[in-house]
Amino acid sequence: MHLQSRRVFGRQSVAASEKTGQTGNRLRAMAAILLALSTGVPQGYGQQTPTQTTTKSASELPAAPVPEQTEPLSLRQSARDFSKPAGRLLGDPINMYRPTTIAKADFNNSVRLRDLVKDGKIYLSLSDAIALALENNYDIAIARYYLDIADTDLLRAKAGSTLRGVGATVLQNTLGGTSQTLSSSGSPGTVSGATAGSSGLVLSTDGVGPAPENRDPQVSGAIELQRQKSPQTSPFVPRAFTNTDSYNFTYSQGWATGTSGTLTWDNSRVTTTGFNSFSPELVSSFQATVTQHLLQGAGIFVNKRFIYEALLDRRITDSTFRQQILATVNQVENIYWVVVSAYEDVQAKERALVQSTQLDSDTRKQLQVGTMAPLDVVQADSTVATDKQALINSQSNLNYQQLILKQAIARNLNDPALVAAPIIPTDRVNLDQLPEEKETPEELTQIAFKNRPELEQAVLSIKKDEITLKGARNALLPTLDVYGFYGAESVGGAPNVNCNFLGFSCAATTTTGYSAVLSDLVNGSGSDKGVGFNFQVPIRNRTAQADQARSLIEYRQAEMHLEQLYTQIRMQVTAQQYALANDRAQVQASIAAEDYARQSLDAEQKKLRLGASTTANVLLQERNLAVAEDNLITANLTYAKDRALLYQVLASTLQHYGINLNDAATGDVATAPVIPGLEPAKNTTVAPTTLPGNE
């Protein structure tokens, strides 16, 4: 009943009518957490003193710790930082107009895999399997590109453009070993990773609000050469020939304050036989205009909000990549233990076949001396045939499970030698108790609250929703802009000797060159200046109201989803700890049952040799031993998978195994992971695992 009151994630209410009391205290505490996660967002936004806490009753559960931020992945898939432009104005301005090239994907297996092949076999430890997955697995390789994609959105935002969104999600395209314990259901708003479903970063109301000013300067120009012949339309007006050359240029730029500026410079040279005073006539004019938003679109935050969102998107993408590593490592562990289980199952089936074959041979000998009935031989033959069929099935399953493991840790399966090479798993899990199992469920829950990337993503998404709310509120305002302009115009040229009307010359009296025209342009002799206001008041304002309401609704959804994540994670941690304790007990019980079945078979075989038992009883004990061995193999598999899953539920796999996230981001694993709780396999000998028909 205190789960709701103990939460510390949230923020100070964005609505004036927010309820006070317990809910208000929770939201105020959330603000401190969001502030701690607001790297890249201006310091003045949403700040609240982290020490503002509330008095808790003795019955309340401990407050959840702040989720740790995923270490920034500064090492990218490519050599270029896509959050920065390709060229510079000073140095290499041409490069910004060249297309970007991305290195082709490498479809070769890493050297580590080739080094593990010895005598046509792959001797594979769990550490090697995880290292190979970090280097070769396609899910991880594809997820790496999301880091660069997030950077391209940041580059767009710096120019004042809207975001395209990042499709970052946890990929599950590797066959086999997928755990369904962790929730992968979709979430509202812009949450990424496993909490965002297949759509990744859903934009929804992201981008609501006034469009930011374009902060990339624009230079445009128009050059036109016109030759015009005018027909004679009056006996008093002769036919005119006019040559017009115009050279017009415009420079425009926006700033983060909601200010925009435009500078136009127009030039023309007109040569005519008409009644112009100058021919050629030189005309030059310019006008500089500065416009400032006063209501809608005003302020640095509104115009830079896409940058803040892009920074948060990149951090969500980093967190999602960490979640991808956690998921894929756990998946590879599951596949590895399935291969170990299949490997041991083949060994068990081989032992069963040896036993039934030996019994069949002994029964035939006893039939020859008359101490055994023919039906016993038939029964023994049937058992041998059944065990052979079981061994073939087990070998086929081992071959397939080995292929599944290869596609998880290799990038190219076109090498026949690699496909044919059997995998010899060299690690087995031991029954040593993990340190986490000695802690209480509440202590483990607090660890999960601190480490789980889903919580980090949810908190960052709430931060994004706050930015969206601010943009939506600004869009409710009318548009009111103030602008000012200053310009000038100057005319000059040579006197037009053809300018004559009724015998009077209309030509200019002096000749003015282009330099004099430019001088007159800036000396104020022909200035043009002024100020003005533009306003636009939408009547009813329904679109902005709907967007603002939806953004607030989605914000409330995100708050609810965050609370739901806490409950889900608490249940997952508790269930996984209990499951692991049960699994260990099951393994120990299976060991005892297997030992009892083995001793029972040995005793029954001794009785048979003394004539105190029958073949049927021995076969029954052999079946009991086979079932006990199968149960032990299954119990060991369940225990190994659940132990790995506990680390994933706690999101502590990387720390426990010593996996460097930046190494995973580059695909170059310098140090192999160190997996605790393992022991070397005692027997790595298996009969050739050829499929039926390929002998």
* pLDDT tens by residue, 267-293: 999 888 766 777 788 999 999 999 999
State the pLDDT at residue 13.
38
Q: Which residue has the higher pLDDT, 586 or 199?
A: 586
State the pLDDT at residue 182.
63
Q: In this model, does residue 504 exceed pLDDT 70? A: no
Phi, psi (rounded to 5 degrees) for 537 = -115, 110
Contact present, 169 and 196 (Cβ < 8 Å) = yes
Q: What is the DSSP letter of 431?
A: -
Q: How many angstroms from the chain centroid is the CA of residue 674?
A: 26
Q: Which residue has the higher pLDDT, 279 or 265?
A: 265
- What is the 3 state secondary structure string of 498-559? CCEECCEECCCCCCCCHHHHHHHHHCCCCEEEEEEEEEECCCCCHHHHHHHHHHHHHHHHHH
State the pLDDT at residue 201.
57
Residues 484-511 have a mean pLDDT of: 76
Phi, psi (rounded to 5 degrees) for 36 = -65, -25
Q: Which of 149-153, 194-198, 532-536 has the lowest mean pLDDT?
A: 194-198
Q: Which residue has the higher pLDDT, 41 or 508?
A: 508
C-alpha 334/C-alpha 644 separation (Å) is: 8
Extract the tokens encoding 626: 């086979």
Q: Which residue has the higher pLDDT, 195 or 679?
A: 679
Extract the tokens encoding 354: 């040896």
C-alpha 260/C-alpha 256 separation (Å) is: 9
Q: What is the DSSP letter of 238?
A: -
C-alpha 691/C-alpha 695 separation (Å) is: 7
Strands 427-429 vs 678-680: parallel, antiparallel or unpaired: antiparallel
Q: In this model, does residue 482 exceed pLDDT 70? A: yes
Residues 143-160 have a mean pLDDT of: 93
* pLDDT tens digit sequence for 593-604: 999 999 999 999
How many angstroms separate the first and last alpha carbons of the chain? 65
Name the band, by pLDDT with cuts 50, 70 and 90, for residue 181.
low
Q: Which of 15-29, 334-348, 613-627, 679-693 has the lowest mean pLDDT?
A: 15-29
Q: How many angstroms from the chain centroid is the CA of residue 143?
A: 6
Q: In this model, does residue 4 exceed pLDDT 60? A: no
The candidate with the shortest Cα–Cα distance to 134, out of 167, 112, 103, is: 112
The candidate with the shortest Cα–Cα distance to 474, out of 543, 534, 541, 548, is: 548
Q: What is the DSSP letter of 71?
A: P
Q: What is the DSSP letter of 93?
A: G
Strands 121-124 vs 423-425: parallel, antiparallel or unpaired: parallel
133 three-class SS: helix
Question: Percentage of the chain surpassing pLDDT 70?
Answer: 81
The candidate with the shortest Cα–Cα distance to 238, out of 496, 501, 504, is: 501
The candidate with the shortest Cα–Cα distance to 573, out of 657, 651, 639, 638, is: 651
Enclosing H/E stretch for 619: helix 615-650
Strand locations in 107-171 (E): 117-118, 121-124
Q: Which residue has the higher pLDDT, 247 or 499?
A: 247
Extract the tokens encoding 461: 């998404």
- If phi over 0 gives left and psi between -120 and 50 gives alpha, with beta otherwise, what is residue 372? beta
Enclosing H/E stretch for 411: none
Enclosing H/E stretch for 491: strand 479-495
Q: In this model, does residue 247 exceed pLDDT 70? A: yes
Partners of 486 in the β-ladder = 288, 529
Strand locations in 161-301 (E): 218-230, 240-255, 259-272, 278-293
Q: In this model, does residue 203 exceed pLDDT 60? A: no
Contact present, 455 and 565 (Cβ < 8 Å) = yes
- What is the 3 state secondary structure string of 321-359? HHHHHHHHHHHHHHHHHHHHHHHHHHHHHHHHHHHHHHH
pLDDT averaged over the chain? Answer: 83
State the pLDDT at residue 2.
36
C-alpha 77/C-alpha 388 separation (Å) is: 50
Name the band, by pLDDT with cuts 50, 70 and 90, for residue 22.
very low
Extract the tokens encoding 603: 């005793």
Q: Which residue has the higher pLDDT, 591 or 415?
A: 591
Q: Which of 169-183, 303-317, 644-658, 667-681 has the lowest mean pLDDT?
A: 169-183
Contact present, 442 and 62 (Cβ < 8 Å) = yes
pTM: 0.83
